[in-house]
Chain A
Amino acid sequence: MSAAADPVALTLAVACALGFAFGWLLERAGLGSARVLVGQFYFANLTVFKVLFSALVTAMLGAFWLDRAGLLDLGAVYVPETFAVPQAIGGLLFGGGLLLAGLCPGTSCVAAATGRTDGLAVMAGLVLGILAFDLAFDSLNQVYASTPLGTLTLPDLLHLPAGVVVALVAGMAVVMFVAAEWAMRRWRA
C-alpha cells in the first residue's frame, strides 16, 4: 500500500521525517555526547541551555504568531495537562537521573545511534524504569493522579494575556543568553 493511500502510514512517515531532522540537529549541536550535556551542570559548557531555550522560544514565538496570522490552529494542538505535585516529583527524579545518565531519553537515542554504549545503557534503563513504574502503578497511582489541574497555561495561571507571557519568556531567555555568554567569557579569561 502506498503511503498516500494509507493515512496511518503517512502519519508515521511524517513522524519519522520530523524525528530525523530533530536527531540530526541534536547531534550537530553536540547533544549526542554525555560529556557535552553534563557540562551544563558544572558551568563548563552551556549547550543544553542554549539549544533548549532557543528551540523553545522559536517554537513559542512561531506558534503564537502563526496562530494570530491564521496559519496554525493552536486550539487543535495538544497541550499537556498539568498535574502539579507528580510533575514536580517527576522533574526532581528526572534531574537527578539525568546527572547519573548524562543523557536524556531523546539524546540517549542519538548517542546510541552514533555508537556510544552509554546511550544504549540509558535506553535499557529507561525501559526498566518505566516497567518498574508500571508494575508498581497500583501503589503509585494516588500520587500520580493527584493535583490534576487540567489544561493549564502560564497565561491562565498569571491572569495575563498570552502575548505578554510570550514576550516575558522571550525577554527572559535573551537576558539569560547574554548573561551566560558574558559569564562564560569571564570564566575563561
Chain B
Amino acid sequence: MTRHSDPYLAGVGIGCVLLAAYALARQGLGASGAFASVAAALTAAAVGTTEAAASPAVAPYLPDGLASPLRDWLVWELIGVAAGGFTSAWSAGRLAWAAERGPRLTPALRLTAALAGGVVMGIGAKFARGCTSGQALSGGALLSAGSWIFIVTAFAAAYACAPLARRLWL
C-alpha cells in the first residue's frame, strides 16, 4: 500500500481540474446536485413526472422526465469521481471492503451514524444550494459571498460538534 500524496500537491491538482471545469463547462465541480437529481427522479418514479414537477423544489431537476439523471452534468461528473477514486485506490493497493470507523464503534453503529450524517448533510446542502465541492470549493474560488458564509458556518459547526462526537471517532 503506497502512502497518500502530499495534500498541497493534490490540492493544486484539484484547483487545476476546477479551472478546466470553469473553462470547458462554464461551471465549477459539484456533488450534492447529482444526489438531488437522483432524488428528483425517485420522486417522479413514485408519484408520476407531472405530479413531481409541480413542486418547485424538484422541477429544475426533471428537464427530461425520469431519464433526467442520465443527462445531468453533475451525475456524469460524479460517476467520473467514483471511477477516478476507484482507479487511484486500485493502483495504490487501497481497495478494501470495510466500514471505516473509530476504534470504539461497531460496524452497525458506524453505518447508522453515516446514514444519519448523510441525511443531515443532504438537508444542509439543499438549504446552502451546494456542498463542499459546489459551494466551498467552486463558489469559494469565485469569491461568492454565500460560498464563504457556507465555508465559515460548516467549519464552525463541525468544530463545535467534534467534542460531542468523540465516541464516534477516537
A residues apposed to B, CB below 8 Å: 8, 11-30, 32-36, 38, 40-42, 46-47, 50-60, 62-63, 66, 71-72, 74, 76-84, 86-119, 121-135, 137, 140-141, 143-144, 149, 151-157, 162, 165-166, 169, 177
Contacts and interface: CB of A to CB of B under 8 A. Distances in A.
- A22, A32, A66, A162 pick with most chain B CB within 10 angstroms: A22
A51 B112 CA distance: 28
Contact of A27 (B79, B89, B100, B125): B89
Contacts, number: 521
A15 to B, nearest CB: 4
B87 interface: yes
A30 B158 contact: no
B131 A104 contact: yes
B84 A19 contact: yes
Given A24-B84, A25-B13, A131-B43, A114 B118 contact: no
Interface of B: 4-5, 7-8, 10-29, 31-32, 34-36, 38-40, 42-43, 55-58, 71, 73-74, 76-89, 92, 94-102, 107, 110-162, 165-166, 168-170
A32 B5 CA distance: 13
Contacts of A71: 23
A177 to B, nearest CB: 8
Nearest to B142: A79
A160 to B, nearest CB: 10
25 contacts: A11-B25, A13-B76, A22-B133, A29-B7, A52-B132, A57-B141, A58-B14, A59-B15, A62-B19, A91-B154, A96-B157, A97-B116, A106-B131, A114-B94, A118-B100, A118-B111, A122-B118, A125-B116, A125-B119, A125-B122, A126-B122, A129-B121, A130-B36, A130-B39, A177-B8
- 3 closest residue pairs by CB, A with B: A125-B118, A19-B80, A129-B122
Contacts of A8: 71
A96 B158 CA distance: 5
B18 A59 contact: yes
B143 A60 contact: yes
A116 B116 contact: no
A134 B147 CA distance: 22
A137 B119 contact: no
Contact of A55 (B18, B24, B80, B129): B18
B96 A114 contact: yes
A55 B146 contact: no
B26 A133 contact: no
B158 to A, nearest CB: 4
B19 A92 contact: no
Contacts of A22: 14, 17, 29, 77, 80-81, 84, 133
